[in-house]
Structure 1
Amino acid sequence: MNLALFDLDNTLLAGDSDYEWGQFIVDHGLVDRTEYEARNAEFYEQYKAGTMNIFEYLAFALGPLAKRPRAELEVLHEQFMRERVDGMWLPAAQALVDQHIAAGDMCAVVTATNAFVTGPIVRKLGVPHMVATTPAQEAGEFTGAPRGTPAFQAGKIERVENWLESMGLHWGSFERTWFYSDSRNDLPLLERVSDPVAVDPDPTLRAHAERHGWKILSLRG
């Protein structure tokens, strides 16, 4: 049995769903445009630079979820999928996922973006498992805080290992393990698998992949 793990934003998607959700709620007047847009852009630059404090970011990103009923958020997300996510779809990424599924590999998206934003996207991709940052809930409504370890940087390894353990599995259960990612933030998990693949990588990841002889792949050609 083999394991195929996929980052989502800027890997399977031609864009960042977390950032785009922030812009979506700005454009629809759900948060103050001037303040939120500036902070969203600031955090995105920190993410690309590998300097983002995940807990500061999550306090910012999850806060708006706590201010609206879950039913309203679900309707908004359907609109978000149409207005933002459909334009980021990559046929080559879908084909890659389908190839691993057809081969019988266990497949999961592993993403730092919270599960509310990413769940419908992962389901549309047809990936059966997801490891994502978990927004805490009480009685089905979001609290504005994360639950457990965010699936970010080294936290992705912890969350993947917890997921595997919940099924009675571990890294040694698999003959081969892939992780596909674009980001320097994912170097810890990329270094953990047997087959790391840099997908349309940022400059830091590209340089690391070239030094170590990792496969470099583009899904945007």
Structure 2
Amino acid sequence: MANNEEQIEAKPEGVAVFIKGKSSENARLVISEAELEAQKPSSAVDDAAQLKVERDHDRGAPSPDAPCEIAVFDFDGTCISGNSPVLLVRYLLKKGQVRTSVLLRILTWGIAYKLHLPQNEAWVRSLVFSSFDGMPEEEADAEMYAFYDEWIVPRIRPKALQVMREHIAAGRDIWIVSATFDPIIVRAKRDIPYDHHVATDMKLDEHGCYTREVKGKPVEGAEKLRQIKEHADQIYGKDSWKLAYAYGDHYSDAPLLAASEHPAAVTPGPTLQHHAEKEGWQVLDWR
């Protein structure tokens, strides 16, 4: 692609990366303070809290002889607007906890993600997590909890909560599956009424401090489906559950969606949208 040139531009309000010759949706990754001002309706998190109170009362009772139906939701771009690892980099950048060299390599990954190019998922998570390398688990988790409270809560999508409410009423279990870091999803339990989750774990050293090494594999692409199957078999028993519904926004979610009885592409990028339309999947707009 000889006509495509990358430009990295530093601005007072953030950092922008442009690729000439590409459509605006695929060609721009922006780290900007202005984006952080976007707010969802204030009722969304209140609605989630109320959902927790009413959960047991409202949950439908599935047939005792039928497999447990689960509804699986991707997190980034599906339950929330935006990508939490990228947002975490912005948060750490604002606090002066990310080196410029690390930032530029993360931006390169962001471009590859936008363009659906092959990439090393463990590598980029190691880069993002470099700010927590050697930090005690409790201290690092507290930092990620603070990030979630300030930056992620305003991005929770009310429509995601509404759909979860419908599944709960139908007696289905809610699962969150995400390539983001496990403490972020653990914290999301305060606002999103899921039953089980699968997310990316980072290894601890012998002193209980985080390393930059991913424990196992990042929960991305086909690994999402593999880990859902593994954990659901452990929780429910093999052949005692079924993947009834699945929701995702990125083309890498296609294996998970294809395995469900009712796949839905949520506010998808053009690649997933095209694939969803070709396969006859439901396409939803949760913006």
Give the TM-score, by structure 1 length.
Answer: 0.90
Residues of 2 paired with 1:176 and 1:158: CA distance?
12
What is the CA-CA distance between 1:75 and the residue it aligns to? 3.2
**Which of residues 225, 231, 235 in structure 2 aligns to 1:167?**
235
Partner of 2:104: 38
Partner of 1:197: 264
Higher helix share: 1
Residues 70, 140 of structure 1: 8 Å contact kept: yes
Q: Summarize deviations over 1:108-139 as a string: whole Å, max 9, x none.
A: 10111121233212442121210111212245
Residues 63, 145 of structure 1: 8 Å contact kept: no
Give the % identical residues: 28
- 2:86 matched to 1:19? yes
Amino acid at match of 1:156: K
RMSD over aligned CA atoms reads: 1.8
> Radius of gyration: which is bigger?
2
Residues of 1 paired with 2:230 and 2:272: CA distance?
26
Aligned length: 218
Amino acid at match of 2:181: N
Q: Summarize deviations over 1:93-120 as a string: whole Å, max 9, x none.
A: 1111222123210111011112123321
- 2:206 matched to 1:135? no
What is the CA-CA distance between 1:176 and the residue it aligns to? 5.5
Quick check: 70-79 or 40-49, which moved more? Answer: 70-79
Structure 1: state its 5+ residue gaps: none
Residues of 1 paired with 2:133 and 2:189: CA distance?
23
Partner of 1:50: 116
Residues of 1 paired with 2:85 and 2:216: CA distance?
19
Partner of 1:179: 246
Partner of 1:120: 187
What is the CA-CA distance between 1:198 and the residue it aligns to? 0.3
What is the CA-CA distance between 1:15 and the residue it aligns to? 0.9
- 2:148 matched to 1:85? no
Give the TM-score, by structure 2 length.
Answer: 0.70
What is the CA-CA distance between 1:168 and the residue it aligns to? 4.2
Residues of 2 paired with 1:78 and 1:58: CA distance?
18
- 2:151 matched to 1:106? no
What is the CA-CA distance between 1:65 and the residue it aligns to? 2.1
